[in-house]
Chains A and B, each alone.
Chain A
Amino acid sequence: MPKRTDIKKILLIGSGPIVIGQACEFDYSGTQACKALMEEGYEVILVNSNPATIMTDFDFATKTYIEPVTPEMVEMIIDRDRPDALLPTMGGQTALNTAIALEESGVLKKFNVEMIGADIAAIKKAEDRKLFKEAMLDIGLKVPPSGYAHSTKEAIEIVQETGYPAIIRPSFTLGGAGGGVAHTESQLAHLTEWGLSASPVKEVLIEKSLLGWKEYELEVMRDCKDNVVIVCSIENFDPMGVHTGDSITVAPAQTLTDKEYQILRDASLDIIREIGVETGGSNIQFAVNPENGEFIVIEMNPRVSRSSALASKATGFPIAKIAAKLAVGYTLDEIQNDITRVTPASFEPTIDYCVVKIPRFTFEKFSKTSGVLSTQMKSVGEVMAIGRTFKESLQKALRSLEIGVSGLEEHFKYDIGDSSQDKDVQKEKIRSLLKEPYWERLWMVAAGLRRGLSIDEINEITGIDLWFLQNLKEIVDFETAIKEKGIIKNLDGDFLRKAKQMGFSDKYLAGLLSCREADVAGAREEFKIHPVFKRVDTCGAEFEAHTPYLYSTYEEECEAKPTAKKKIMILGGGPNRIGQGLEFDYCCVHAAFALKEDGFETIMVNCNPETVSTDYDTSDRLYFEPLTFEDVMAIVNVEKPDGVIVQFGGQTPLKLALALEQAGVPIIGTSPENIDRAEDRKRFKEVLEKLSLKQSLNGTATSQQKAEKIAVEIGFPVMARPSYVLGGRSMEIVYNIEDLRHYMKTALNVSPEHPILIDQFLQEAIELDVDALSDGDDVVVAGVMEHIEEAGIHSGDSACSLPPFSVDDECIDLIKKQTAALARELGVVGLMNIQFAVKSGEVYIIEVNPRASRTVPFVSKTIGAPLAKIAARVMAGKTLKELDFTKEKTFNHISVKESVFPFIKFAEVDILLGPEMKSTGEVMGIDTSFGRAFAKSQLATGVELPSSGTVFISVKDKDKPVALKLAAGFRDLGYQLTATSGTAKYLNEAGFDVQMVNKVKEGSPHIVDSINAGEVQFVVNTTFGERAIRDSFSLRRTSLNCNLPYCTTIPGALALLDGLRAVKEKNLSVRSLQEYGTSG
């Protein structure tokens, strides 16, 4: 069937900010969908609050709204632009929920908007667990025994029937938010309460746990003629009980016979038909009993998902792109397979390699949580690796993680006794650790195997399939064989080749053989053992592949076929993590686009399956490979690029810069030498002294004594951190000598090879971020952003405003001058980012990053200039004059960036901000005034801003004078005030009418009771000192659980006040980026 001509304008809803459970895979999907629909000649109206996405770039949609993804705002867009259709399946749960709300409120009907891809009935049938259960029973499929609870009492009654362990799943949430496994009644009660609060419909499903069953996923696509294909099957390494987003997963399924696989395939076909997803992709999860093959349907997502992104990358079949085309009426047989170019999309990909995905966790940032996985997702990113065997793929994936491992080597922090101890004692400790699914379980299993635990025993404890365990054992056994060789010289060619085929990296081998990585590389050179590159082609080589989507392996034949074109290689950012997210991928993608336009062949190297950069469409050639020195050099040796870009992928490629340059790789842009001058504190100090620029007092300590000495000289409080980190990892404000000693003890363990930096902490300074471009001669400031929170809060966590809202022009001019001076001194070619602090009119330089920063997409979208593209062109030899970018852009609107946090997933964690970054993503609010832009940014994070109600204020003593201003502001807007004794007394004495409420420790009814009862709409809570922080913890957690807007800083509260005032003055309205005239 040809495409539909009765619809012309399609509204696409994006997924909003990056949060756990909903990350940049939806930018990948949405970007594909936008591209596909625009190519087909449709007008695309896009709404997404996340500025760091490629999809919100100007040319990916006809109209791009960077506005909060809420039913109210989307209704305004519909009213304004009158789309014919709404495609709700590309923006994750956020888009689905928004679409459901718009349907239920009658908006879609009112404006005559048709839902395409999946209709409301199908979405509800798949999403509402009750309807889903009925539907499955109707077609003769089994679902876990379960019941619905709306209270703890109901939950307990249900479990009396279904039994423990019980899984608690809140209805209509993403990433399993608020879910968990209960083994006891008290756990059940706790999880039910939590789950009820997380569910928008206040309902939880209580389900019999299938703990230990094998878990599978199938990716299904269907077209309007009822043709159905399975794109990919996925088997989880971790059995049921661990969220699939947190599981190590493998494609294709490994331990199912064809008969068993076909049962799941047939069931998937029946399910997509029964649910009624008419066009597009769905993901279906199954549990299989390892004892007898019995299978149970777990759930179905009637939309593209994290798994569909993974399946697309794993097979070369672009699910989202094809789903978009199916949604406008095409059938699978009418769509061409891009890779083979001769066969249609109506087929099932077959793969001739093994794909392993491993999630990336950041438990180290939330030190109070246990690191045990459950049905609620906690990972913040993932890596994927491709190899010819599971062993090879697994070890490639492990070294892609960038957590300090180069393979399956011993790696975990749990004490199992040192090597002098009895093996049996260690074994016993490992046995007991294996009982819980810690995120490091893979390494624990390996440790157990090393100490002689049998695979049968491990299988019994963990439920991990024997096939996986056998493969791990083969790696561990070979590790032993390598060690027994003693030194590298004892390895012959066959043995070394075998090691490489099993995925042992040079670095891993060097560790086992006590030599340098270069020695192993040298031995490989001697025996002529090099990786070859094979193509991902959807068809197991049955047809010729026209798309160079490549992975390395140790086999006979290489299919890389490098061209003789002028080429530039871009090193990506690896797995998403807190501190290094899709902003960096955004820059890499831009580099690829720009250089492609300029006639270069572009080569992307990355290992993150969620991203746009690893779409084979993005660059001319894609190498899906780990970003280690060894892996990158292997590609360089084959491709011989004319230039390699390291400054776009964050810290990941930057760390490789010096080594690559020493190996003769042509790094373009700012030289690694100058990068080092900026990154190395000591050398950077010299730079600043040379330019007579100011820095807060600081020193570099390599020992504890030195650290103490420096801190005392500078004077407390000081900021302490390890060098060479991103995202403020292990960064802390230290107030006294005891804290410093404690810090040194824990932090030095984090990165022993790097020293600790100690800076004077500029209390209450204003922080500013500057992004600038330079070609070596000209320097152009792209944007100066003023942070809303004061210095001391990590810049990645702080909200910021572009342009600044309180700093005077004189000061900003000074900042710009200093920026130019630094860019010239450091010979910056490309992008640079500088963080400044302003205190009492003095400008201090906090740090300089001669690379793309987290704010590049935010600035680009605000000023209307594609900074990363310009930077890439500059690196490739163009001047800013040639590119006509010599002056700072002027504009009349204001953009506010706000951060979003994963606290809801980590029950024990406080929501207070500090110098260590904790946010997973960001949103942008754009409007004509600071207040309106700020209000939008808050709405975009998912909170509501009611126009009346009660504001709770509790501030530390130091903040009390400012609290007067706050209280007056809220009062003038018509809000009631409530406060705990200290603040209440202070405010009432100043003439306010403040209701006093108990602190929690003062007994019920207290503030937490009030919040839970819905009596409080806003929370302002600043606190200082360990004890006060501990006492007010439950207050902040409850605000979070109740999804109230909360401010933990005074500047944040003042900004909120501005926002509320602006909204009250005039209702919010929407405007597209194109209309802001920023589509420069």
Chain B
Amino acid sequence: MKATLALADGRIFYGESFGAPVEASGEVVFNTSMCGYQEVITDPSYCGQMVAMTYPLIGNYGINLEDFEAVRPFMSGFIIKELSGIASNWRSKMGLDEFLREFNVVGIQGIDTRALTRHIRDKGAQQGIISTTETDPKKLVEQAKQLPGLEGRDLVQEVTCSQPYDWVEGEWDIERGYNKSPLENPREPGKNYFVVAYDLGIKLNILRKLTQAGCRVKVVPAHTGWEEVLAMKPDGVFFSNGPGDPAAVDYAIENARNLFGKVPIFGICLGHQIVSLALGAKTFKLKFGHHGGNQPVMDLIQKRVEITAQNHGFAVDPQSLKGDAETASINLNDKTLEGVRHKKFPLLSVQYHPEASPGPNDSSHLFHEFVKLMEENSPNGPAERTD
């Protein structure tokens, strides 16, 4: 079916729809990962956004039952050059088209995604609409102009879980699939650490990596108060990735502020921004963000470079870090802040995604570092195995 993608600044692209032929809108961003579209589509951080893949051939290996980052897609639209006519992989259970249809997400193909990417790069990420019904592009542009931007929007409440739950699954392995038996801390056999994870839109692979590193994990809704969390007697608290403007998630910032110094904290992506805001820093919106799996990050102390997966439209202003908080790592492409370190509080906070999925595993050691942080700083001392 013919479909139109209209951007708020008036740029129009024509293509063909796939997935569900519904009208959808959101901030249009581009992702430069060459594989991993299943993880991208199911990443809750894309709530409120439509994603264009810069790699043109999508759907090649279909959709499998394992590479989900959440139980359903959260992005509102998927923009690509060419949808594969076949799903070819031993793990594939269905085609991408069918999957998107099932979850009522619209896809548009036949788009000059390079032109779209260049446009976003030059003009900035902006609101857009995909429609298969409206034939007048001008009307679509008008509608896109009326859409609210991401700034000031708390999208966390749209993606967080409603009830706390325990997580027990470890990492994926090509021969055995997911590790279903809870793991002990490989560093200290017989012991593991209890982590309470704030779900601000959490990617499942974070939970798997925490479990694999030897943690017992309880996931809690974003609104859970800090006192309630402390009452659970965690060895560490985790703030997850998620969508929208971090500054709008004031309750999470408040919780983080109150947990500092009381328990080791680990923040990833939106979680990192929340932690930084709680430390008194400021965040700002990037022109088009970082979305992809090839971003070089340099650790300023070790001077080593890791290739990281990233997905963020906002960033922490390094100039705004104050007191004992300081820049721990930077992005070598645009020199933006990638990690914060604190002289007093046991804290790990990174803008990038050490859980990868999709993307390189270079920084997955951070999960072990978090364990080490808990080992040294847990208010409870090393925890006993609970099972």
Q: Interface of A with B (CB < 8 Å)?
A: 225-227, 229, 233, 252-263, 265-266, 290-295, 331-333, 342-344, 346-354, 388-390, 455, 465-467, 470-471, 473-474, 534, 539-544, 555-557, 559
* Cβ contacts under 8 Å, A388 to chain B: 56, 81-82, 114
A225 vs B35: C-alpha distance when bound (angstroms): 28
Please, what's the 1-or-0 string for B61-105, where 1 marks a CB less than 8 Å from any CB in chain A? Answer: 100101100000000000001101110111100000000000000
Q: Are B35 and A261 in contact (CB under 8 A)?
A: yes
Query: Sorted from nearest, which 8 A-B pairs have the closest CB atoms?
Result: A258-B36, A540-B54, A258-B358, A557-B115, A470-B86, A467-B88, A348-B294, A556-B112
Is the beta-carbon distance between B67 and A257 smaller than 8 angstroms?
yes
Q: How long is the Cα–Cα vector from A226 to B121 in the complex, in angstroms?
A: 32
User: Which one of B35, B61, B82 has the greatest number of beta carbons of chain A within 10 Å?
Assistant: B35
Q: Is the CB of A557 within 8 A of B60?
A: no
Cα distance A388–B54 in the bound complex, in angstroms: 11
Cβ contacts under 8 Å, A557 to chain B: 112, 114-115, 118
Partner of B84, one of A257, A333, A470: A470
Secondary structure of the A contact surface, majority rule: loop
**Which residues in window 274-326 of B have CB below 8 A to A?**
292-296, 298, 303-305, 307
Q: Are B84 and A467 in contact (CB under 8 A)?
A: yes
Chain B, 84-141, CB within 8 A of any chain A CB = 84-86, 88-91, 112-115, 117-118, 121
Cross-chain contact B67 with A542 (CB below 8 angstroms): no
Beta-carbon contact of A290 and B361 below 8 Å: no
Q: Which chain B positions have C-beta within 8 A of A295? A: 174
Chain B window 1-37, contacts with chain A (Cβ cutoff 8 Å), 1 for yes, 0 for no: 0000000000001000000000000000010111110
Give B124 Cβ to nearest chain A Cβ, in Å: 13
Closest Cβ of chain A: how far from B244's Cβ, in Å? Answer: 22
- Residues 29 to 48 of chain B near chain A (Cβ within 8 Å): 30, 32-36, 38-39
B34 touches A252 (CB 8 A): yes
Inter-chain contact A262/B361, CB cutoff 8 Å: yes
- Contact size class for B? 35 or more
List 12 other contacts, CB 8 Å, given A257-B38, A294-B174, A470-B84: A225-B303, A225-B304, A229-B307, A233-B34, A257-B35, A259-B67, A333-B332, A343-B296, A352-B56, A474-B85, A540-B55, A557-B115
Smallest CB–CB gap between A822 and chain B, Å?
A: 51
Complex Cα gap A534–B175 (Å): 41
Taking a contact as CB atoms under 8 Å apart, the answer to whether B115 and A226 are in contact is no
One digit per residue, 1 when the CB lies within 8 angstroms of any chain A CB and 0 when it does not, for chain B 232-263 equals 00000000000000000000000000000000
Residue of A nearest to B172 (CB): A259
- Judge whether A259 and B66 touch: CB under 8 Å: yes
Residue of B at shortest CB range from A539? B32
Residues of B within 8 A of A266 (CB): 361
A350: contacting residue among B54, B81, B115, B305, CB under 8 A = B54
Distance of A353 Cα from B112 Cα, bound (Å): 11
Give which listed residue, A229, A259, A294, A465, contacts B88 with CB less than 8 A: A465
A344 to B303, CA, bound (A): 14
Q: Does B356 contact A (CB under 8 A)?
A: yes
Inter-subunit contact B117/A542 (CB<8 Å): yes
Nearest CB of chain B from residue A567's CB, rounded to whole Å: 25
Contacts of A257 in B (CB 8 A): 35-36, 38, 61, 64, 67, 89, 91
CB-based nearest B residue for A262:
B361
B307 pairs with A555, CB closer than 8 A: no
Q: Is the CB of B55 within 8 A of A351?
A: yes
Distance between Cα atoms of A290 and B359 in the complex (Å):
22
A348 and B360 within 8 A (CB): yes
Q: A258 and B35: CB pair below 8 A?
A: yes
- Residues of A within 8 Å of B118, CB to CB, are 541, 557, 559
Report the minimal beta-carbon distance from A934 to chain B, rounded to whole angstroms.
53
Contacts of A291 in B (CB 8 A): 90
Query: Shortest distance in angstroms between B173's beta carbon and chain A's nearest beta carbon?
Result: 9
| CB of A748 to closest CB in B, whole Å | 42
Tell me if A293 and B60 are in contact (CB < 8 A). no
Of chain B, the residue at the smallest CB distance from A293 is B174
Q: Which of A254, A465, A473 has its CB near the most chain B CB atoms (within 10 A)?
A: A254
Assess whether A541 is in contact with B333, with CB atoms less than 8 Å apart.
no
Q: Contact: B115 with A293, CB < 8 Å?
A: no
Task: Given A225-B303, A255-B88, A347-B307, answer yes or no on A354-B36 (Cβ-Cβ < 8 Å).
Answer: no
B117 to A350, Cβ gap below 8 A?
no
Q: Find chain A residues with CB under 8 A from B64 CB.
A: 257
Cβ-defined partner of B60 (8 Å) among A254, A349, A544? A254
B57 and A254 contacting across the interface, CB-CB below 8 Å: yes
Q: Which residue of B lies closest to A260 (CB)?
A: B174
Q: For window 152-180 of chain B, which residues contact chain A by CB distance below 8 Å?
A: 172, 174-175
The verdict on B357 contacting chain A, using a C-beta distance below 8 Å, is yes
* A347 touching B61 in the complex, CB below 8 Å, given contacts A258-B33, A466-B86, A470-B86: no
- CA separation between A359 and B132, bound complex, in Å? 43
Across the interface, do B114 and A262 meet the contact criterion of CB distance under 8 Å?
no
Interface pair B360/A541, CB less than 8 Å apart: no
Q: Which residues of B contact A255 (CB under 8 A)?
A: 60-61, 88-89
Complex alpha-carbon distance, A262 and B358, angstroms = 8
Residues of A within 8 A of B54 (CB): 350, 352, 540-542
Are B296 and A353 in touch, CB under 8 angstroms?
no
A292 contact set on B, CB distance < 8 A:
90, 174-175
Chain B residues with Cβ under 8 A from A226's Cβ? Answer: 304
CA distance A261 to B356 in the complex (A): 12
CA distance A233 to B360 in the complex (A): 13
Q: In the complex, what distance in Å separates the CA atom of A543 from the CA atom of B293?
A: 15
Question: Please, which residues of chain A bring their CB within 8 A of the CB of B357?
Answer: 258-259
CB contact under 8 A between A389 and B56, given known A229-B307, A262-B356: yes
Q: How far is the CA of A259 from the CA of B303 in the complex (A)?
A: 28
Residues of B within 8 A of A256 (CB): 35, 61, 89
Question: Is A541 touching B90 in the complex (CB atoms < 8 A)?
Answer: no
- Which residues of chain B are within 8 angstroms of A225 by Cβ–Cβ distance? 303-305
Q: Which residues of A contact B56 (CB under 8 A)?
A: 352-354, 388-389
CA distance A354 to B85 in the complex (A): 16
* Complex-state Cα separation, A944 to B39, whole angstroms: 59
A351–B294 Cα distance when bound, in Å, is: 11
**Cβ of A350 and Cβ of B292 under 8 Å apart?**
yes
**Residues of chain A lying within 8 A (CB to CB) of residue B172:** 259
Compute how far the CA of A465 lies from the CA of B30 in the bound complex, rounded to whole angstroms. 29
Q: Is the pair A293, B33 in contact by a Cβ cutoff of 8 Å? A: no
| Closest chain A CB from B7 CB (angstroms) | 14
Which chain B residue lies CB-closest to A227? B305
**A254-B57, A347-B296 known; A541+B121 contact, CB < 8 A:** yes
Distance (whole angstroms) from the CB of A319 to the closest CB of chain B: 16
Report chain B residues within 8 Å CB of A344: 296, 332-333
Q: Are B294 and A349 in contact (CB under 8 A)?
A: yes
Q: Which of B338-384 contact A (CB under 8 A)?
A: 356-361
Given A293-B174, A350-B33, check contact A333 B296 (CB 8 Å): yes
**CB < 8 Å: which of B55, B90, B303 contacts A352?**
B55
Is B91 touching A293 in the complex (CB atoms < 8 A)? Answer: yes
Q: For B34, B64, B359, which residue has the most chain A Cβ atoms within 10 angstroms?
A: B34
| A540, B32: Cβ atoms closer than 8 Å | yes
Please judge, given known A-B contacts A350-B292, A352-B55, whether A293 and B333 are in contact too, CB under 8 Å.
Answer: no
B55 touches A556 (CB 8 A): no
The listed residue (A290, A470, A539, A544) touching B90 by CB distance below 8 A is A290
- Cα of A252 to Cα of B57 in the assembled complex, Å: 10
The distance from the CB of B83 to the nearest CB of chain A, in whole angstroms, is 11
- Name the residue among A259, A265, A347, A543 with the largest chain B CB count within 10 angstroms: A259
Q: List 13 A-B contacts (CB under 8 A).
A: A259-B174, A261-B36, A262-B359, A292-B175, A332-B305, A343-B332, A347-B294, A350-B32, A465-B88, A466-B88, A539-B32, A542-B32, A544-B121
CA distance A352 to B67 in the complex (A): 23
- Cα A258 to Cα B353 in complex, Å, equals 15
A389 to B83, CA, bound (A): 10
Most buried by B among A344, A467, A470: A467
What residues on A are CB-neighbors of B304 within 8 Å?
Answer: 225-227
Q: Determine the distance from Cα of A259 to Cα of B358 in the docked complex, in whole angstroms.
A: 7
